[in-house]
Structure 1
Amino acid sequence: MASPPFNPVGDPRVEHRHSQVNGYNYHYLYAEPANGKFEATVFLIHGWPDCSAGWRYQIPLLLDMGLRVVAPDLMGFGGTDAPKVPPNDISLYGFKRASDDIAELAKIVGSRQIILGGHDWGGAVVWRAALWHPDLISHVFSVCTPYSAPSKQYISTEDLARGPLPQFGYQIQLASGEVEKFIKDEPSIRQFLKGIYGAKGANGEHLMIPEQGIIPETLPLVGDSRLLNGKMLDYYVQEYSRHGIHSTLNWYRSRKVNWEQELELVKQNKKTISIPTLFVQANFDSYLKPEMSKSMGAFMPNLTRGDVDATHWILMQKPAEANLIIKNWLQGQGFGLKTRSSL
């Protein structure tokens, strides 16, 4: 019998904690197995437009397996600080900074090594964290987001959208500053979240089209979402209303600074991730399509692959299938074998 997903409001299995991490306040979910004993710590990193609660179906599984869980809100999201850019540097929303903050948070909770998992932007973060902090991370997994090695050549989002990845056109819009003009208060944030998580208009209108971005005219038309509704939707609206959407979109503005900082990885020839890795593909992902992951195995000698017939929101759309892949991989690495864990 599977443990139910946690409720971010009042669930005794999970604590809401705050810590100063490299000068900024981070909010994170903290959970230990019921007996207070754990054999390893798993950090879970969310994507956009999500928050730490995006892992609500996976955290109970990991606790059942005897693992401790730490799931932070990324910079600019939820209860974590959202420094303005400018005057602050956009690198605060980059992979190097996120990797360093994960390392610092691991120190704060007393972990010398961690298992690291991510989804969407979080998936991109965890691959980079494995390069920047190889001694900290013992195992790493990503849901939906394939690995691409650091490159000496800079390729802009515009170049990607014009070339091999036309479905990245939405990223140009999200980085432009236009979205904040029409998603700017609680009602519009609510409609936005419903639409991103699968709700459509009465005539099947999609709020977001990969090649174009968010369609403003569709915002008032979207109905209810099967994936995000009720009290969970209320929680997400509350979390996104703390800072507004602007700070979360800074992640789409950091591509060049990521490249600049990763030239150091290129210089040191740090492209291969040799620790055990897992990649979970959502077969119906319209943004991070299956063909994008074809070559990543060349940089990962210990790669395990899994796939689920699901969209980008696999963690909440098909949690049992995603959890089974994660569970089997972790058990194959020797974790959770002493407990009778369930999905």
Structure 2
Amino acid sequence: MAVNPIDPVSDERVSHKTASVNGKTYHYILGVPKDGSWKATVFLVHGWPDISAGWRYQIPVLLDLGCRVVAMDMMGYGRTDAPKVPPNSISFYGFKRASDDIAELARQLGAKHIILGGHDWGGMVVWRCAGWHPELISHLFAVCTPYQAPSKRYISTEDLVNGPVPQFGYQLHLASGEVEKAINTPQGFRQFLNGMYGGRGPNGETTFSPEKGVLFDNLSKVGKTKLMTDKEMDYYVDQYSRSGLHGPLNWYRTRKVNFEEENDLHKQTIDIPTLFIQATRDSVLKPEMAAGMERLVTSLTKREVVAAHWALWEKPEECNNHIREWFEQVVFGSKSKL
């Protein structure tokens, strides 16, 4: 089924809302089925470098399924507050704060239970939110991001890069402060986002290396991404121009605080009905990282698409088919708890 994505600027299917959540302002896209009623509320959590509009292809199918949809700009992104660190605590950008903010916004919207979906960092938020707020989340789905149980000992990003996941080297560059200083104008954001979303230079130049990070010398060489219209890119550039990259990159400075706050999460398994969609060509969240998930996610439906990290845009029909099938069979099927 062809997908008619949400126009993030103006679309009658959705509205743009703001809310004061635990003392900070959040922006979110709200969609409600045409008849004004819904069977379930779905919260969607984006990753980096993205915003709530990253779910533009998935919002319509969820509305068609009879769901109310809440797609948030996460802390530091878009029209949501972006507290500077320092003087503010880095915990504003941690998984605990994100989880608590989701729970509070759900309370404000009168949702006693939600279905939670995430991509990239949003996938990690989904997994951790299920640990902190299991009574709130009836079902969850993650795209690209496999489940990793809370660690019993602290492992630094440097140790990860020098050990099992060298493709996380880019995280050291993003956390260094160098990237936000170098990319801070609308033109810079446009070049950066085009490159991050797959744009290439005349000789195949790329702007991102999983091992090294952002390749500044290639930013001016890349052309337009094939995954976005000009209007969509203009919207993204406008949103990133509001607060810059400091907020989004703070998510890469939270490894220690996340570990400390996760000491409260003693349970290793996820027992909530779960859909995991794996992108087989993701160069960072590689398929082998999801090996053995079934042991820790006890009610798992696992699907895959032949796509890179931006699978939600690259293969929207395939992703949506997996989502629709799971909702019809698991969420709203005969075994549903809703």
Partner Cα distance (2:110, 2:30) in 1: 12
Q: What is the aligned partner in structure 2 of residue 284 from structure 1? A: 281
Partner Cα distance (1:301, 1:181) in 2: 44
Q: Counterpart of 2:281 in structure 1: which amino acid?
A: F
Partner Cα distance (1:224, 1:72) in 2: 26
Partner Cα distance (2:117, 2:175) in 1: 25
- TM-score (ref. length: structure 1): 0.96
Partner Cα distance (1:125, 1:182) in 2: 28
What is the 5 A alignment of 1:116-131?
116-131=116-131
- TM-score (ref. length: structure 2): 0.97
Give the deviation of 1:157 after TM superposition: 0.8
Q: What is the aligned partner in structure 2 of residue 333 from structure 1? A: 330
Q: Counterpart of 1:197 in structure 2: which amino acid?
A: Y
Give the deviation of 1:334 after TM superposition: 4.2
Q: What is the aligned partner in structure 2 of residue 168 from structure 1? A: 168
What is the 5 A alignment of 1:173-322?
173-265=173-265, 269-322=266-319
What is the 5 A alignment of 1:28-107?
28-107=28-107
Q: Percent identity?
A: 61
Distance 1:49 1:334, change over 3 A: closer
Give the deviation of 1:195 after TM superposition: 0.3
Is the CA contact (8 Å cut-off) linking 2:124 and 2:145 kept in structure 1?
yes
Partner Cα distance (1:81, 1:44) in 2: 18
Is the CA contact (8 Å cut-off) linking 2:3 and 2:316 kept in structure 1?
no
Q: Describe the superposition over 1:215-274 as per-residue Cα deviations: whole angstroms up to 9, x where unpaired.
A: 110011111110123000000000000000111100000011000000121xxx311111
Q: What is the aligned partner in structure 1 of residue 115 from structure 2? A: 115
Is the CA contact (8 Å cut-off) linking 1:67 and 1:336 kept in structure 2?
no
- Report the 3-state secondary structure (helix = DSSP H, G, I; strand = E; otherwise coil) of the residue aligned with 2:219: helix
Q: Describe the superposition over 1:121-175 as per-residue Cα deviations: whole angstroms up to 9, x where unpaired.
A: 0000000000000000000110000010011111111111111101000000000
Q: Describe the superposition over 1:101-122 as per-residue Cα deviations: whole angstroms up to 9, x where unpaired.
A: 0000001111000000000000
Is the CA contact (8 Å cut-off) linking 1:139 and 1:277 kept in structure 2?
yes
Partner Cα distance (2:95, 2:270) in 1: 16
Is the CA contact (8 Å cut-off) linking 2:51 and 2:78 kept in structure 1?
yes
Give the deviation of 1:181 after TM superposition: 2.1
Q: Counterpart of 2:228 in structure 1: which amino acid?
A: L
Give the deviation of 1:3 after TM superposition: 4.8
**Aligned-CA RMSD value:** 1.1
- Report the 3-state secondary structure (helix = DSSP H, G, I; strand = E; otherwise coil) of the residue aligned with 1:247: helix
Consecutive aligned runs of 4 or more in structure 1 exceeding 2 Å deviation: 334-337
Give the deviation of 1:2 after TM superposition: 3.7
Partner Cα distance (2:333, 2:9) in 1: 27
Is the CA contact (8 Å cut-off) linking 1:170 and 1:213 kept in structure 2?
yes
Q: Describe the superposition over 1:54-105 as per-residue Cα deviations: whole angstroms up to 9, x where unpaired.
A: 0000000000111110011000000100001111100000000000000000
Moved more, 251-260 or 222-231: 222-231
Q: How many residues align?
A: 334
**Structure 2: 5+ residue stretches without partners:** none
Q: Counterpart of 1:248 in structure 2: which amino acid?
A: P
Is the CA contact (8 Å cut-off) linking 1:77 and 1:239 kept in structure 2?
yes
- Report the 3-state secondary structure (helix = DSSP H, G, I; strand = E; otherwise coil) of the residue aligned with 2:123: helix
Q: What is the aligned partner in structure 2 of residue 340 from structure 1? A: none
Is the CA contact (8 Å cut-off) linking 1:65 and 1:335 kept in structure 2?
no
Give the deviation of 1:301 after TM superposition: 1.1
- Report the 3-state secondary structure (helix = DSSP H, G, I; strand = E; otherwise coil) of the residue aligned with 1:311: coil
Partner Cα distance (1:214, 1:2) in 2: 34
Q: What is the aligned partner in structure 2 of residue 12 from structure 1? A: 12
Give the deviation of 1:18 after TM superposition: 0.3
Q: What is the aligned partner in structure 1 of residue 151 from structure 2? A: 151
Partner Cα distance (1:229, 1:39) in 2: 32
Partner Cα distance (1:331, 1:181) in 2: 46
- Report the 3-state secondary structure (helix = DSSP H, G, I; strand = E; otherwise coil) of the residue aligned with 1:142: strand
Is the CA contact (8 Å cut-off) linking 2:84 and 2:246 kept in structure 1?
no
